Structure 1
């Protein structure tokens, strides 16, 4: 693991009152619009389920499904202990740019406070394209590249403009921006 990766031993931070205050799940979900019944969603870098659990609840009675994807077995084990009754979550242990999901499965992918950790973001985008349906969306919420009193160092963050350029180079178009404040930006892309 590089120093860009979140320290899995600090997993409590991923679902703390402070995080809920500065990055409410409802704001993330409002930024992308409607989540349709039966959708298949990938929560990439799911951690301990901060977004996975609310997504699964919204999709629970509509035959929808959430792939909870993470590189950390510890995070997935913690999440697994929370989902004993949630049959619409599938835990997926992955590598950064290799996700063992069959091709053309996913309608919508989330990367929430994950993009800044990526060593090769273009490779993960190629993998998202592989496991996603031809028509799909990708939602990025990440730390801005300004100095702040929390989160990763600003020097490892991608600016909003850098992320937009990376996705455009991979054939995506920007649909929406949201959640812009002193800490985060939100972007919604779809494939052209």
Structure 2
């Protein structure tokens, strides 16, 4: 009887150990997949270093989300500079504020705005050196008004950094019907008065361009 009990205990322990090994293996695989996918996206600080952002620059982040660009931009421009993190969602702005506080960043100003309205950013004419638009245009019906707003608040020779989902890669991201092709975006920025300066690397799932006022 005791031998049978011991056998049952050993059997249960073996099954438990086997399950734990499977869970650890699965978790390791998921983590490897997560790192692989993350490595396919653009690194914001690498992008910022590539585009010649200067100490003291002022940037407006249209549709800032959780601060993918706002936070590293704020570090780059330093205390002499300023970042306006703009979003329609209060939760996004709260996330930026929380992350900024945790990292000792004090030069980010958050604003809840609707960028599909005329002068929707609530910023002054010709008041910023950079406008960043990351994955915002495909989400909005009136894309032209957002581009015009970027043009309005940029100083002369100011630049817009625009990042959108690659229209030819549907592995991850929004429905392909919502995506904007590079040719379509080129036409939009030129219609908005910008001069297309250059295209820069943006990982496997996006493309990115810089346009000058």
**So what's the TM-score if we normalise by structure 2?**
0.75
Please give the residue correspondences for 1:83-162 in structure 2 after superposition, counting only pairs within 5 Å: 83-84=100-101, 85-97=104-116, 98-162=120-184
The total of aligned residue pairs comes to 174
Q: CA deviation at 1:28?
A: 2.5
CA distance in 2, matches of 1:21, 1:168: 29
Query: Which blocks of at least 5 consecutive residues in structure 2 are unaligned?
Result: 1-33
Partner SS for 2:199: strand
The match for 2:55 is 37
Partner SS for 1:82: helix
CA distance in 1, matches of 2:46, 2:163: 10
Q: CA deviation at 1:129?
A: 1.9
User: Could you give the per-residue CA deviations for residues 88-109 of structure 1, whole angstroms, max 9, x where no partner exists?
Assistant: 1000111032111122211111
Q: CA deviation at 1:155?
A: 0.9
Partner SS for 1:22: coil
Structure with more contact order per residue of length (Cα contacts < 8 Å, sep ≥ 6): 1
Q: CA deviation at 1:171?
A: 1.4
1:82 and 2:99 aligned: yes
Q: Which has the higher helix share?
A: 2
**So what's the TM-score if we normalise by structure 1?**
0.83
Partner SS for 1:176: strand
Is the contact made by 2:59 and 2:83 (CA closer than 8 Å) also made in structure 1?
A: yes
Q: CA deviation at 1:182?
A: 4.2
Query: Which blocks of at least 5 consecutive residues in structure 1 are unaligned?
Result: 1-15
CA distance in 1, matches of 2:138, 2:39: 20
CA distance in 2, matches of 1:60, 1:100: 23
Please list every run of at least 4 consecutive aligned residues from structure 1 whose deviation after the TM superposition is greater than 3 angstroms. 16-21
Q: CA deviation at 1:26?
A: 3.1
Instruction: Calculate the aligned-residue CA RMSD, in Å.
Output: 1.8
Is the contact made by 2:88 and 2:113 (CA closer than 8 Å) also made in structure 1?
A: yes
* Cα gap change, 1:108 to 1:179, in 2 (>3 Å): same
CA distance in 2, matches of 1:28, 1:110: 12
* Cα gap change, 1:70 to 1:126, in 2 (>3 Å): same
